[in-house]
Amino acid sequence: MDPASAETPPEARSHVGLLAFVCTLSMITYLDRACFSMALNPIAGELGLADASQLKWAITAFAIAYAAFEIPAGAMGDRLGAKVMLTRIVLWWSACTALTGLIGLPIGGVVTGGLGSLILLRFLFGAGEAGAYPNITRALHERLPARNWETAQGLVFMSGRLAGGLTPLLWAVLVGGTASSPPWITWRGAFLIFGAVGVVWAVAFRLGFRDRPSGRLDDAEPSRPRSHAAIPWMALITNRTLWALCIMYLSVNYAWAFNISYLPTYVEERFGIGAEDRIGAIYKGAPLWVGAVGCFLGGPAIHGLTRLIGDRRRARQVLGFSAFTLGAICWWAAIRSQDVHAFCILISLAAFMVDVTLGASWATCQDLGREHAALTAACMNTVGTLGNALAGWLTGTIVGGSIAAQAVARHVAPEALDAVDKRIAALSGYDAAFGTYVLAFVVAAVCWIFIHPSRPLVANDEAAFAPATA
């Protein structure tokens, strides 16, 4: 055999390089998101707030801005290319991550910002990070053949979930300290370090990533150059499959957002597991660890169902409906669980059910959008992010309302409640919020019945609409 023929083809090396960049990007995205949820209690303490639920608008501001700027960032990615957009996105959010470490810091008798400054900074953070995943989708759409879309998207989200799951453990080691040793760094230092990691990635990406693929993706599929066509607003607004995708993604984002926002605080309050507890850190990251496995298995699951059913898009429907039905059951059981092991296992299984469908969801955007893949993905993710915003605000509101009701019953101000009464009221509020997560999974399952992109978003993309069979 000719040794030259055994070498990895240039196209394959290009695919590996692309996946390396977008997977590490996804990891940094979740690292920066998860570190904020880990810092809720110390930030609340620094700002003189009664509890972490009073940071609900800081959590919500990120999601609102992320949703508001997602479609513009996706449309720009379709026109300018992934390289320009992703470099700008990562530098922006890395700066915001680093600046978060300065909130409430006293310098020379002056405090560098309070709650209002934090809310504004989180809004800017969301605006800067918006478009990351739609532009990743654009890069994958340009460079990978359709048969690899679900697997590639699964690897991207798997990487993010792994990083998000690792963050509580990393936080416990760096910031938590132990009874016998002090923390390595403060929570402020952690934000500065995580921001620097993003800058390093952006420099490497700028130097090492070629924006346009060369040649054809494979012998069976035409290459997909960037589109400069007008944005098909009417097609986006009137497409029923896209609406079903958006409502589905809003629902699962609403139910999933707890894992990346209030979960660490809830575990600490309900089960008495402190920030320094290494095993507790694993529990806090468990939904992301287990979800990473779901991301990895999503592509193979679609391949297997496609061979069984004979229709790739129908396979996505079967997987989505089944997974979200099981997810609803898991959250229903988690509400009734009495120990940390059962609770974390059940909500982790629910997270698995979300993540096993991510590849199918984002690949459906590619199927539907074609030359407008980033824009279509941005539409889905915009509405989905509204689910995150709703979860951050509504969960905090429900928990805060429960505490306020307990205060009224005790004839005291909320801040005057003793620790036991406040804890009981907060946990009662969380239980009420969990019931809404069950409903969200049911809605998402129903939506998959209506998600079947038999035709592309724009009629003149028909020729590029690849067969949906295995």
Q: Count the neighbouring beta carbons within 10 Å of the beta carbon of residue 167.
A: 28
Mean pLDDT over 67-91 rounds to 86
Of the ranges 37-41, 202-206, 452-456, which one carries the lowest mean pLDDT score? 452-456
Give φ, ψ of 182 to 5 degrees. Answer: -75, 165
Query: Residue 334: what pLDDT?
Result: 94
Predicted local confidence at residue 3, as pLDDT:
47
Predicted TM-score of the model (pTM): 0.71
pLDDT given for residue 272 in this prediction: 81
Considering the chain, what is the average pLDDT of its residues? 83
Question: pLDDT, tens digit, for every residue of 277-296?
Answer: 767 777 888 898 898 899 88
Question: pLDDT per residue over 35-73, tens digit each?
Answer: 888 888 888 888 888 777 788 888 888 888 988 898 888
**pLDDT at residue 221 in the model:** 44
* Confidence category of residue 250, pLDDT binned at 50, 70, 90: very high
CA–centroid distance for 336 within its chain? 27
Q: Can you give the pLDDT at residue 1?
A: 45
What pLDDT is recorded for position 470?
A: 43
Each residue of 150-194: pLDDT tens digit? 888 888 888 988 888 788 778 877 887 655 667 788 888 989 998
Q: How many CA atoms lie within 13 A of 138 on its CB side?
A: 31
- Nearest alpha-carbon partner for 327 in 389, 255, 430, 394: 255
At 227 the pLDDT is: 46
Q: What is the pLDDT of residues 319-376, one digit of tens each?
A: 999 999 999 999 999 999 988 889 999 999 999 999 999 989 988 888 887 777 778 8
- Residue with token string 């009221």: 425
Answer whether residue 463 shows pLDDT above 50. no
Candidates 383, 380, 453; CA nearest to 146 is: 453
Residue with tokens 């810091």, as numbered in its chain: 105
pLDDT for 310 beyond 70? yes
Q: What is the mean pLDDT of residues 94-100?
A: 92
* Spatial separation of the C-alpha atoms in residues 288 and 225, rounded to whole Å: 35
**pLDDT class for 78, splitting at 50, 70, 90?**
confident
Confidence of residue 381 (pLDDT cuts 50, 70, 90): confident
pLDDT at 225 over 50: no
Residue 224's pLDDT band, with cuts at 50, 70 and 90, is very low
Q: What spatial distance separates the first Cα and last Cα of the chain, rounded to whole Å?
A: 31
* Residues in the chain, overall count: 470
Alpha-carbon gap, residue 79 to 26, rounded angstroms: 22
Residue percentage of the chain with pLDDT more than 70? 87
pLDDT computed for residue 9 by the predictor? 54
Q: What is the pLDDT of residue 359?
A: 86
Residue 275 has pLDDT above 90, yes or no: no
Q: Any bridge partners for residue 106, and if so which? A: 111
- What are the backbone angles phi and psi of residue 408, rounded to the nearest 5°? -60, -40
pLDDT tens string 207-220 = 887 765 544 344 34
Which phi and psi angles does 316 have, rounded to 5°?
A: -65, -40
Q: Which residue has the higher pLDDT, 164 or 407?
A: 407
Alpha-carbon distance of 432 to 349, in angstroms, equals 20
pLDDT of residue 135: 87
Q: Has residue 447 got a pLDDT over 90?
A: yes
Across the range 396-422, mean pLDDT stands at: 87
User: How sure is the predictor about 2, in pLDDT bands with cuts at 50, 70 and 90?
Assistant: very low
| Backbone φ and ψ of 110, nearest 5° | -115, 135
Angle between helices 149-171 and 10-38 (to 10 degrees): 40
Number of other residues whose CB lies within 10 A of the CB of residue 444: 29
